[in-house]
Structure 1
Amino acid sequence: MAKLLVPSLWALVFFLFSVSAFAQTSVGSLGTILGTVTDETGAVVPKVTVTVTNEKTGIARTAVTNEEGSYQVPALIPGTYKVQVEATGFKKYQRAGNELRVNDSLRVDATLQVGEITQTVEVEGGAPLLQTTSGTVGHVIDNRSVVELPLNGRDFTQLTMLVPGAAQGAQGGGFFVIGGNNVSVTGNRSDSNNFTLDGVDNNENFFKFHAIKPSIDAIEEFKIQTNITSAQFGAAAGGNINVATKSG
C-alpha cells in the first residue's frame, strides 16, 4: 500500500506545481485590454459586445460592457490587437493596430455613431494610447531590438542598459557575473533584481540572477519595470525583468 501511495503523492505534487505555474503565467506575463464605450453625446452604452482579435494569430475574445459601459478582456498574450464594438442602432466600431505589451493594461475607449450595424467606422492612427491604469514605470524591449542589436554571447540582459535608470553594476567576484550582465536598476544592488519568464519565477537564489537564460530567438519581448512595481513582483527592491517568449 505504501509503495502505491508514494507515486500517487508525487503525481499530485507535479499536478499542483503545473497548475501553479500556469496561474503565475496568466498573471505575470499576459496583458489586459479594457475601456469604456460611449455614444456621441458622451453617455455610456451598456450591454454591447466587444471583440478583441489578435492580428497575428486570429484568435478572438469577447466581452460585454457593464452598466457603466466598461469592458475588460484579461489574459491576452503580448501582440497587436483589433478591437470591434457592435451594438444595435449603432454603426460597428473598429480600431486596429493596438499594441499590447507584456504585463500591460491597454485602454481602448470607443465612441459609437448612430446608424446601421452593417456600417463600420474604422479608426486609424490618432492620438497614441496612453497607459493610464497603472503607476508602474517600465520600458519594453521589443523582438526587433532583441534580434537585431549586437549582443555579446547572445545574452538578452545586455539590452537592459538601454533603459533609463539601468547601469552596469559592480563586478564583484568572478562567480557573481556567471549568469550574464551585471545590471543595477535605479541605484539598487545588482543582486536585488527580480526575473520572471512568462510570468513564472526565474530567479537563481545563489548567484542572484536568472535561473534560465532563454535563447534570443525564443524571446518575443521583455519588460524592465524600474519603479512602483505591482505587489506580485515584490520579491526584490531593484528592477523586475519579465521575459515573454514567442507563442506557437
Structure 2
Amino acid sequence: MLLYWKTLIFTVAPFVCCLTIAAQDLDNVTISGTVTDQNGAVVSGASVTAMLVATKAERTTVAGGDGNYKLIQLQPGVYNIKAWFTNFATEERTNLTTIAAQTLQLDFVLKPAGVTVEAVIVVDASGTQVDTTRTVVGGTVTTREIESLPLASRSPLDLIFTLGGVSEEPLSTRYLADDKNARTTPEEAGSFSLSGGTAYSNNITIDGLDNNDDRSASQRFTPSIEAVEEVQIVRNQFAAEYGRASGGRINLRTRGGSNEFRGRAFYFFRDESLDANTWKNNSLGIKRLPVQEHDPGFTLSGPIVIPPVYRGNNRTFFFTA
C-alpha cells in the first residue's frame, strides 16, 4: 500500500509542475526597494524575506552593493516582509496585500542593534498598495469586491463591467459565410468591448492559461464565482507576453489552499415572487416573468494530507468548489 501511494504521488507531481510552469511568467507580484541605515547609507548584503501568510512559503534575496533588492515572480496574496543584517535590528512589514501583476516599492531603514533590542514591526492593514511603476491601463476586481458585490448571473466575467473602459457588445452580429442559410458555424461578436476595441479580439485566460473559444469569440470555460480570487483586465499598453489579441486581456485568478482546512456551503436562490415588476408591465396588466434558479454548492481547501504517508503543510495545498 505504501508503494502504491508513492507511485501515485510521483505520477501526479510532473503534471502539477507542468501547470505551474506554464503560467509562471504571467500576473505575478514583484517587490523591490532599497535597504539603508538611519543616516541614509546603503546596507549592502542585507537580507530581505517575503512570507506568504496563507501558506508560510518564503522567498529570500540579498541587497546588492547599491542597497537595492528585488523579489520577482511572487504569488499574489498577503505578505509579511522583513529585512535584517548583522548588528542591525530586524524591520518587518506585515499584512501587505498584493494583487496580480503588481510591482510594490518597499524601502527599509535599519537601526543599529544597540539602539533597539526588538524588531521594528510596521502593520499595514490599509489595503492594496498603490503601484506607481505600472504603465498598463486596466483594473482588478479584488477578493473583497467579488465577495461583496451582488451578482445575479453568478458569472465572474460579468464583474468586468464594474471597471472603467468596458462596454457591452451585442451578440451574433458577424457570420463566417455571406449566405446566412448556409450550414456554417456563426462567429459571435463577443460579449464585451475593452476601450472601444472589437469584442471578438479579446484574450481570456485563467491563471495565465488560454481559455478562448476561437469559434465563438468567447470563453471556453467559466469557473464558479466561488473559485475566483481576482478578475483582472488589461485594456492597453500591455507587454508582449499577453499577446494574441488586439482588444484587451481578461484573466481570472483562481483561489488556492492554505495551511488551515477551510470550507463553506452556500445556496443561491431566485424566484419571481422576490422580483419587482416593471412599471410598463404593471400598466398593461402583465405579470412578472417566471424565474426559478437554484444554485447550491460548497468550497473546501487546505493542505494535502495522506496519513501516514504525506503531510503537505507549508508545501502542497488544494482547493475545490
- Quickly name the TM-score band, shorter chain normalised: 0.7 to 0.9
| AA aligned opposite 2:121 | E
Give a deviation string over 1:145-165, Cα, whole Å, max 9, x none.
Answer: 223323233111111111111
In 2, the alpha carbon distance for the partners of 1:137 and 1:23 equals 26
Count of residues paired in the alignment:
231
Give a deviation string over 1:196-241, Cα, whole Å, max 9, x none.
Answer: 2111122111112222211111111121112211110122122211
1:156 aligns with 156
Alignment counterpart, residue 237 of structure 2, candidates 196, 218, 228: 228
Secondary structure at the counterpart of residue 233 of structure 1:
coil
Which structure 2 residue ranges, 5 or more long, are not aligned?
A: 1-13, 175-185, 258-321
| AA aligned opposite 1:75 | Q
1:237 aligns with 246
Cα distance change, pair 200–118 in 1 and its aligned pair in 2 (3 A):
farther
Cα distance change, pair 115–18 in 1 and its aligned pair in 2 (3 A):
closer
> Given that residues 102 and 222 in structure 1 are in contact (C-alpha distance below 8 angstroms), is that contact kept between their aligned partners in structure 2?
no
In 2, the alpha carbon distance for the partners of 1:114 and 1:131 equals 30
Stretch deviating more after TM superposition (224-233 or 18-27): 18-27
> Given that residues 170 and 190 in structure 1 are in contact (C-alpha distance below 8 angstroms), is that contact kept between their aligned partners in structure 2?
no
The aligned runs of 1:200-219 (5 Å cut-off) are: 200-219=209-228
1:122 aligns with 121
In 2, the alpha carbon distance for the partners of 1:86 and 1:45 equals 10
In 2, the alpha carbon distance for the partners of 1:77 and 1:123 equals 22
In 2, the alpha carbon distance for the partners of 1:55 and 1:126 equals 13
1:166 aligns with 166
In 2, the alpha carbon distance for the partners of 1:52 and 1:23 equals 21
In 2, the alpha carbon distance for the partners of 1:199 and 1:132 equals 23
- Report deviation, 1:64: 1.0
How does the TM-score come out when normalised to structure 1? 0.83
CA RMSD for the aligned pairs? Answer: 2.6
Structure with more relative contact order (C-alpha pairs < 8 Å, separation 6 or more): 1
In 2, the alpha carbon distance for the partners of 1:109 and 1:176 equals 51
The aligned runs of 1:28-47 (5 Å cut-off) are: 28-47=26-45
> Given that residues 157 and 231 in structure 2 are in contact (C-alpha distance below 8 angstroms), is that contact kept between their aligned partners in structure 1?
no
1:6 aligns with none
- Report deviation, 1:71: 1.6
Cα distance change, pair 176–146 in 1 and its aligned pair in 2 (3 A):
farther
> Given that residues 159 and 231 in structure 2 are in contact (C-alpha distance below 8 angstroms), is that contact kept between their aligned partners in structure 1?
no
Give a deviation string over 1:117-147, Cα, whole Å, max 9, x none.
Answer: 8421122349974313331122111123223
The percentage of counterpart residues that share the same residue type is 31
Cα distance change, pair 18–96 in 1 and its aligned pair in 2 (3 A):
closer
> Given that residues 84 and 93 in structure 1 are in contact (C-alpha distance below 8 angstroms), is that contact kept between their aligned partners in structure 2?
yes
| AA aligned opposite 2:148 | E
1:12 aligns with none
Cα distance change, pair 18–203 in 1 and its aligned pair in 2 (3 A):
farther
Select the structure of larger CA radius of gyration: 2
In 1, the alpha carbon distance for the partners of 2:217 and 2:240 equals 20
Which structure 1 residue ranges, 5 or more long, are not aligned?
A: 1-14
Cα distance change, pair 208–118 in 1 and its aligned pair in 2 (3 A):
farther
The aligned runs of 1:59-74 (5 Å cut-off) are: 59-74=57-72
| AA aligned opposite 1:210 | Q
Cα distance change, pair 22–205 in 1 and its aligned pair in 2 (3 A):
same
> Given that residues 38 and 110 in structure 1 are in contact (C-alpha distance below 8 angstroms), is that contact kept between their aligned partners in structure 2?
yes
> Which aligned runs of 4 or more in structure 1 are off by greater than 4 angstroms?
17-21, 125-128, 173-178
Higher helix proportion: 1
2:146 aligns with 146
In 1, the alpha carbon distance for the partners of 2:76 and 2:209 equals 16
